[in-house]
Structure 1
Amino acid sequence: MPKEILEILEIFKKFNHKAYLVGGALRDYLLGKKPHDFDVATDATPDEVCIIFEGNILHEAGREFGTIAIEYKGYEVEIATFRLEGLYRNHRKPKELVFTKNIEDDLARRDFTVNAMAMDMEGNLTDLYGGKEDLENKIIRCVGDAQERIEEDALRIIRAVRFCGTLNFNMDDELKIVIKEKGHLLKEIAKERIQVEFNGIMLSDKPSASLDLMEELGLLEILFQDLKRTVGYNQKTPYHIKTLFDHIKCVVDSTDKVLEVRLAALFHDIAKPWTLCVDESGVGHFFGHDEMGADMAKNILREYKYSNKVIDKVILLISEHMKVSGKLTDKALRRQIRRVGFENIFDLYDLLMADRACTSIDGDIGDLEYNLSRVKQILMEDKRVKEKNYLCIDGKDIIELGFKEGKIIGEILKYANELTLDNPKLNEKEILLDIINREFR
């Protein structure tokens, strides 16, 4: 445990307050992992915390819930006052919060046993609900009655799935039964809150574990109804040895931990059930599933309140995932870089390679590796390919040559663009203007 975190606990003790390390950092510490996301629980009120750590306050956004964020010697720490929670309303928020003076009350309100432990500065563990044993047995179990915990805050449904997936734990049987019965309560939870938990799933080491659990518990149909249709779906093609949902999970797992790439992987083939066309040989084709899938993904991501920046990149990647076939010429690759953007090109190839590897029997990605190597070389040799305006000339330059405004300007620029994509060495102002003079006079 970082000594700086222990120092925080010691500072509270000097001010005659009790303080404990709680939450994810303690859980990681007990699992032998490097702790992060530090949370401290204390009997000090928010006002007292602000006095004790005057000069270290980061923000007080959670003050109404008794939480103050501080920065201490390079560590960001959330400090929360021990509290009791009254009845919950709408399966989301407690109607009232009451500060208390003992850690036992605070731990009793928590969601799962593995999150309901506290450790003081001497390393003494307060574990009233068997959290340490559940960590050892790799079990996610509710504190007390599972139905009560889920009905208090239905977000705990997706949190339980996230913890099982990210920690590679199993879910307690009682909790499974409750989630199957109460999964519909997620419809009452703010989409933004669900998004945060789902992002944690998508950025885990193996998102497919959580996706499988969501399917088992009936949550896939509740949260992503269109994705549910891919489960067990036979693609009717020799190029796919997996069912559609299994293929999607494979692609998600095979991509880097980049949110937009993982989301694109999740939704890249979502439109296939709507675009299936079977030829005379009985082989399935999915014409236009990339564009339709991009539209479907956009609607889903908007529903879950993703930023426009995230949405734009996801739909770009999905729209582009069918536009590469075999080894491409340098000209075609320059077009691709210009179309996709150099800032997105490597993420696109990450998706393409994962898609290919999870598609065919041999998963050969040789042509994609070749294309990617050429992309890297092009980016090194042709600096202008990264710029917003690839051509070193514009319409004004052409008019200054004596051409009149009108359709001819666009035709000349199009010609120059094709010329330089084919041979970037010609992308010099004097060279291009000389060529234009010769070709269009």
Structure 2
Amino acid sequence: MKIEIPSYVSVVMNVLCENGYECFVVGGAVRSALLSFPVHDYDLTTNALPEQMKQVFRDFKTIETGIKHGTLTVMSDHHPIEITTYRKDGGYSDHRHPDKVEFSSALKEDCARRDFTINAMACGTDGKIHDFFDGRKDLENRVIRCIGIPEERFDEDALRILRALRFAARLNFSIDEKTSDALLSSRELLKYISMERIRDELTGFLQAPCAPQLFARYMPVFETVIPELKDCTETEKKDMVKRLENSPADPYVRTALILNSLAHPDQIMKRMKFSNRECDIVMNLLKLKDRETDTPSAIRRIIRDLKTEFARYAQFVCAMDESKDQSAMMKMYEEIVERGDCCKVRQLAVNGNDLVAAGLKGRAISEALDLLLEEVIDQKLPNDRTALLDYLKQKEKADCSASE
């Protein structure tokens, strides 16, 4: 099988080749193409040194942000193409980045420094695959396997531990036995990895349908990055995995399902550098998890307080409690939306200006709006301007009489 390379990529490759250099598509693009997956990013590798690349592409728009590591970005038909000089890596004293970058003149040496066999294939302008480590065979057998000695690969870059799990989950591949053993025995090296990178790999992992089974199988790895998991009983862990299996591959839902059993989930999310928006959504799901969901009024209250899509909330609570009927919840929600029911303060027929005109001040305005919304949600009052203002007048009279 040969790979078809888009013209905007082949143009760049041909410029190097016409100037006497080698150039290959490498890594994830080759893997995805062989799996018949869409390819979004093409990374190139070459024996041209950085200064030689700059000279060759002097008539192109280029970006030199990675030039000290041997990477030049070339713009081709509005597409950024990263080209990196062949490298051979030395030591990795921080278990993440090579201590120094050594350029190489051999494609095989460059492929040998990569993580897994399926990511170490290269493709020339002719579409021919260069496969030094049986990556194609592992693709066919659906196996994640480290290049060379797995312990050494994980010691070089501990993030590869989570990358192996993400690839296995995303592709529904098994993990080679030696790679699996090394993955578990090397897990403490993850303490050298930044929380941002761990968070990103974990989020990508949770978006894969097969994640729950791998989460259970490699629990010790996840206990390393989320130590609070160690405090869970075996029963709690089994329940957690079962709920993950019952959930869609939504990272917010699955993060909430994991954190539900752990103490101080908000602190865990902050420690892992989740964004404020991500924290708000997950914590909101956890806050509303025990709400009644059997009546239209209950659904309207959830809509009032929800900070994400209702469908996501329904997926979450139904994964938490199998007795809940997701179809019935969604039907009520859709009917509420179709009718245009008032569920939020901004939908009320009165606003703050109306209440100021009615004589209310300060905090009394927001309290009155919340009260009116509660009455409308319960359908004790129609969402009608006159009816709402009359209700407030009557309540004020009643409160005055009660205080006399």
> If the length of structure 2 is used for normalisation, what is the TM-score?
0.85
**1:399 and 1:98 mapped to 2: Cα distance?**
71
Return 5+ residue gaps in structure 1 as ranges.
Answer: 234-243, 272-292, 358-363
Residue 130 of structure 1: how far off its partner (Å): 1.8
Letter in 2 for 1:117: M
Q: Does 1:3 align with 2:6?
A: yes
In 2, distance between residues paired with 1:69 and 1:107? 20
Verify the 8 A CA contact 2:285 2:313 in the aligned structure 1: yes
Aligned to 2:171: 167
The within-5 A match list for 1:270-309 is 270-271=261-262, 296-309=264-277
Cα drift, residue 299 of structure 1? 1.9
Hey, what does 1:121 align to over in structure 2? Answer: 125
1:232 has 2:234 as partner: yes
Aligned to 1:354: 319
Q: How much has 1:338 moved relative to structure 2?
A: 0.9
Percent of pairs with identical residues: 28
Q: What is residue 57 of structure 2 aligned with on the other side?
A: 52
Question: Is this contact kept in 2: 1:114–1:131, CA < 8 A?
Answer: yes
Q: CA deviation at 1:314?
A: 0.8
Mapped to 2, the partners of 1:101 and 1:95 lie a distance apart of 20
Identify if the C-alpha distance between structure 1 residues 81 and 404 changes in structure 2 by more than 3 Å, giving closer, same or farther.
closer
Q: Are the aligned partners of 1:379 and 1:385 in contact in 2 as well (CA < 8 Å)?
A: no
How many Å separate the matches in 1 of 2:198 and 2:59? Answer: 34
1:318 aligned onto 2:286: yes
Query: Is 1:371 the counterpart of 2:329 in the alignment?
Result: yes
**Partners of 1:27 and 1:95 in 2: how far apart?**
28
Deviation (angstroms), 1:209: 3.1
Deviation of 1:409 (Å): 5.6
In structure 2, what residue type is equivalent to 1:301?
M
CA distance in 1, matches of 2:391, 2:374: 13
1:333 is aligned to: 299
Aligned partner of 2:243 in structure 1 is: 251
**1:107/1:117 contact within 8 Å kept:** yes
Q: 1:383 to 1:63 in 2, by over 3 A?
A: farther
- Matches of 1:170 and 1:230 in 2, distance apart? 27
**Secondary structure in 1 aligned to 2:234?**
coil
Report the alpha carbon displacement of residue 247 of structure 1 after superposing the two structures with TM: 3.1
Q: Report SS of the residue matched to 1:222.
A: helix
**The residue matched to 1:426 in structure 2 has which SS?**
coil
The code of the aligned residue for 2:38 comes to K
- Counterpart residue number, 1:138: 142
Q: Which residue in 2 is equivalent to 1:391?
A: 348
Q: Give the AA of the match of 2:66.
A: G
Q: Unaligned regions of 5+ residues in structure 2, if any?
A: 398-404
Shift in alpha-carbon separation, 1:438–1:223, aligned structure 2, 3 A? closer
Could you say which residue in structure 2 is the equivalent of 1:400?
357
Using a 3 Å threshold, how does the CA distance of structure 1 residues 407 and 48 change in structure 2: closer, same or farther?
A: closer
Q: 2:309 aligns with which of 333, 341, 344?
A: 344
Report the Cα offset of residue 383 of structure 1.
6.9
Q: CA deviation at 1:20?
A: 0.9
Q: State how far apart, in whole Å, the 2-side matches of 1:133 and 1:404 are.
A: 75
CA distance in 1, matches of 2:265, 2:76: 41
Offset at 1:129? Answer: 1.8
Look up the match of 1:284.
none
Partner deviation per Cα, 1:311-353 (whole Å, 9 max, x = no partner):
111111112112135x12x332222111114x43221112122
3-state secondary structure, aligned to 1:80: strand
Given the alignment of the two structures, is residue 23 of structure 1 paired with residue 15 of structure 2, yes or no?
Answer: no
For 2:304, the aligned partner's letter is R
State the secondary structure of the residue aligned to 1:111. coil
**Whole-angstrom distance in 1 between the partners of 2:316 and 2:223:** 25
Q: 1:282 corresponds to which residue?
A: none
2:148 match: secondary structure:
coil
- TM superposition score normalised by structure 1: 0.79
Alignment of 1:184-199 (within 5 A): 184-199=188-203
Offset at residue 55 of structure 1 (A) = 5.4
Q: Tell me the distance in 2 between the aligned counterparts of 1:195 and 1:128.
A: 32
Q: Which residue of structure 1 lines up, in the alignment, with residue 225 of structure 2?
A: 223
Task: Tell me if the contact between 1:70 and 1:76 (Cα under 8 Å) persists in the aligned partners.
Answer: yes
RMSD (CA atoms): 2.9
Is the contact made by 1:207 and 1:249 (CA closer than 8 Å) also made in structure 2? no
- Letter of the structure 1 residue corresponding to residue 298 of structure 2: A
Counterpart pick for 1:420 among 347, 362, 376: 376
Partner SS, residue 389 of structure 1: helix
- Determine if contact 2:5/2:125 at 8 Å carries over to the other structure: no
User: What is the CA distance between 1:256 and its match in structure 2?
Assistant: 3.3
Q: Say whether the 8 Å CA contact 1:9–1:121 is kept in structure 2.
A: yes
Give distance in 1, aligned partners of 2:200 and 2:100.
Answer: 24
Between the aligned partners of 1:409 and 1:126, the Cα distance in structure 2 is 71
Of the structure 1 ranges 84-93 and 424-433, higher mean CA displacement relative to structure 2 is found in 424-433
- Residues of 1 paired with 2:380 and 2:15: CA distance? 64
